[in-house]
């Protein structure tokens, strides 16, 4: 029996990235798709609690059962498991392929990785895929064999319990991808800048921009270094955000 693979994303069910991901995993297992009906980039792990969720069958992707959802990426995974596939064993959840990398601190803001994390909370092996290319006409073709290789390895070996894999691809270039590296999250942050403007009524509004600051550009064991040097970066991520060294340090405090 083929493994059951659930596909979601945060760029929406019509995005080219999810079409590439579906094409890649259709060759591995039986595919079920449940993705947002509109872009949810930067949504993080938000869930819908103050309004109703709506879904409808989608015919965009041929050869698979697919639905679009008014909710967030995390909502989509919840609905897939507890409603549409209730009672069926899900072997793998994959999310993406995201336009733009989700390396370093971006993993916290990413709806792509939220879908994968939500699956990991449920004890389901999960992988989020992203590419270091923000253009709408991104060429995803070079990612397909690597997606298949990573998914097959995950199905064969398993993923550490309650972990999700954050996979980032370099942008397509004339150079062949050098290989896969399992690395850590880069120490960096986004330095925001706010462009203040006024609408025709004189009311102020803002566009948020900025730049990514890498504190360790020379470190070769990080996700940013990998994608900048034409490697596929895999970072195992878990939702337990406890700083265990911090627990030991704070235990010595006098309260």
Contact (CB, 8 A) for 32 and 80:
yes
SS3 156: helix
Question: What is the Cα–Cα distance from 188 to 211, expressed in whole angstroms?
Answer: 11
Strand partners, 5: 31, 92
| Widest pairwise Cα distance in the chain | 63
Dihedrals φ, ψ of 128, to 5°?
-105, 135
Strand partners, 32: 6, 65
Contact (CB, 8 A) for 46 and 159:
no
Question: What is the Cα–Cα distance from 136 to 52, expressed in whole angstroms?
Answer: 30
Question: According to the annotation, is 229 in a ligand binding site?
Answer: no
Question: According to the annotation, is 98 in a ligand binding site?
Answer: yes
129-158: b or e for each residue (b if 16 or more CB lie within 10 Å)? bbbbbeeeebebeebbebbeebbbebbeee
Question: According to the annotation, is 50 in a ligand binding site?
Answer: no
**Residue of 131, 127, 138 lying closest to 102 (CA atoms):** 131
**Residue of 143, 102, 136 lying closest to 237 (CA atoms):** 102
Binding-site residues, in ranges, read 10-11, 41, 98
Binding-site residues for a divalent metal cation, in ranges, read 10-11, 41, 98
């Amino acid at each position: 029996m083929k493994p059951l693979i659930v596909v979601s994303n945060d760029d929406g069910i019509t995005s080219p990235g999810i079409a590439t991901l579906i094409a890649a995993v259709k060759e591995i297992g039986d595919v079920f798709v449940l993705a947002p009906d509109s872009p949810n980039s930067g949504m993080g792990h938000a869930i819908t609690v103050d309004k109703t969720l709506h879904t409808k069958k989608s015919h965009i992707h041929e050869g698979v059962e697919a639905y679009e959802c008014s909710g967030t990426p995390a909502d989509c995974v919840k609905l897939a498991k507890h409603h549409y596939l209730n009672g069926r064993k899900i072997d793998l959840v994959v999310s993406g392929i995201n336009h733009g990398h989700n390396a370093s601190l971006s993993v916290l803001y990413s709806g792509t990785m939220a879908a994968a994390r939500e699956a990991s909370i449920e004890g389901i092996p999960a992988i989020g895929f992203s590419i270091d290319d923000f253009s709408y006409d991104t060429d995803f073709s070079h990612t397909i064999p690597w997606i298949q290789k990573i998914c097959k390895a995950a199905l064969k070996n398993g993923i550490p319990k309650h972990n999700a894999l954050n996979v980032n691809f370099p942008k397509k270039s004339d150079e062949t991808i050098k290989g896969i590296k399992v690395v850590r999250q880069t120490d960096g942050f986004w330095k925001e800048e706010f462009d203040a403007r006024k609408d025709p009524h004189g009311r102020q509004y803002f566009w948020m921009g900025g730049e990514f600051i890498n504190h360790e550009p020379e470190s070769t064991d990080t996700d940013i270094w990998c994608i900048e040097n034409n490697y596929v970066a895999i970072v195992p991520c878990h939702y337990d955000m406890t700083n265990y060294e911090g627990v030991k340090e704070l235990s010595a405090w006098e309260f």
